[in-house]
Amino acid sequence: MSLRIYITGSGGVLGRHVCSTLTERLPRCVLVGNSADLTNLTETRDALCAAGPLDLVIHLAALVPVEEVIADPARGYAVNAAGTINLLAALAEAEKETGHRARLLFCSTGHVYRAQNRPIREDDPTDPISLYGKTKLLGEQAARAICFETGRSLCVTRLFSMHDPAQQGSYLRPTLERRLRDWDPSTPFDLYGAGSQRDFLTAKAAANQLVRLALSQAEGIVNLGSGQPQTVAEFAQSLSDVPLNIKPKGTDNNLVPDVTRLHEILGDLND
């Protein structure tokens, strides 16, 4: 029997890669993309009831750009925290009809941690570096508590720094690409946090890790990353065809994952 998989955020950059990866790995799987506004419980319940029996739910939908969350914090909490609660409430209601319980993979973020000068482990303290991180941590905590009380299998993945050519808006990659298009190579390239270390994982690689974890029996929290940190300056240089005369601005901080547990579960991260 083919797996029936429900995906929120399937239309986003990461979601599109996740759907492609799933169809490559499981050609016979049935993918059901969420069409509901997760901030609306009735709409979410109707969508899940219409989806039929589900084996797996991959929850990617979120308000992600840090600037957008800062500009509208109420919406940030409504989508990232309350939306997760609504999803689980609606899923429980739908399962009363189907009698079939789905496993949940919830995609969270490395922003739930505080910056440290060493790779961050899953059991390190959470002290969000951004308001976005605070909204995702609240969603995480709700999902973990609800799934524990109801006996639902849950894997929480904490994705650190993802990038993709299709990204737009205020994400780091498109911001740097816009600046590089207008930059005069004879002048310094101002770069805030140039010495900050991050783990820049491509969206395709992130989707591969997410899908493999979703299809495994792994539970609990798992950091996602390449295990090969770069400075922001090195990442910026990788996007340029000419050497950058980088002029560091601001203060640096490091936010990179310890991916030991990820390796233990998946083995080779490139499979």
Residues acting as catalytic residues: 132
Which residues are within 8 A (CB) of 27 and not within 5 positions of it... i.e. 6 or more apart? Answer: none
Beta bridge partners of 6: 32, 57
Which residues are within 8 A (CB) of 67 and not within 5 positions of it... i.e. 6 or more apart? Answer: 170
Q: Which residue is listed with tokens 């900050």?
A: 196
Torsion angle defined by CA atoms of residues 71, 64, 140 and 159, in that order, rounded to the nearest 10 degrees: -140
What's the CA gap between 245 and 236, in Å, rounded? 11
What's the CA gap between 7 and 40, in Å, rounded? 17
- Tokens in use for 65? 């750009």
Decide the pairing of beta strands 189-192 and 246-249. Answer: parallel
